[in-house]
């Protein structure tokens, strides 16, 4: 789940940057060219990132399980990673900064 969310976030960023380069082309030609460019960029990027993210997540989960015990460590590590991804998606999709919101509620 974490790998899918992370890779989707990174590939979405790449996609958004490519789409912003709307050249003075016919929309049909631009769409076809952009789709081809995305495939040629995202397929290798996904393969590369997928392996790296899985390795990173495994290390974080292992570190958490070593620090807090197997079950509690895994749950805390997963919750931490998920919370970071949640904050990034929330900011990306709705321009809401979760830290600012938390400060406004409690301080």
Count the domains in the chain: 1
Q: pTM of the prediction?
A: 0.69
pLDDT tens for each residue of 1-24: 777 788 788 878 877 887 777 667
Distance CA 21, CA 15 (A): 10
Is residue 102 classed exposed, middle or buried when 0-12, 13-18 and 19+ CB atoms within 10 A define those classes? exposed
32-89 confidence digits (pLDDT tens): 887 888 788 778 877 887 788 888 888 887 887 777 777 887 788 888 889 999 999 9
Domain that holds residue 65: 2-17+25-106
């Amino acid at each position: 789940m974490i790998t899918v969310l992370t890779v989707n976030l990174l590939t979405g960023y790449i996609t958004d940057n490519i789409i912003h380069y709307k050249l003075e082309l016919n929309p049909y030609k631009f769409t076809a060219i952009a789709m081809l460019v995305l495939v040629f960029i995202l397929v290798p990027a996904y393969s590369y990132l997928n392996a790296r993210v899985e390795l990173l997540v495994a290390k974080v989960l292992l570190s958490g399980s070593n620090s807090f015990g197997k079950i509690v460590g895994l749950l805390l590590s997963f919750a931490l990673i998920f919370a970071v991804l949640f904050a990034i998606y929330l900011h990306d999709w709705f321009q809401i900064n979760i830290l600012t919101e938390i400060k406004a509620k409690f301080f």
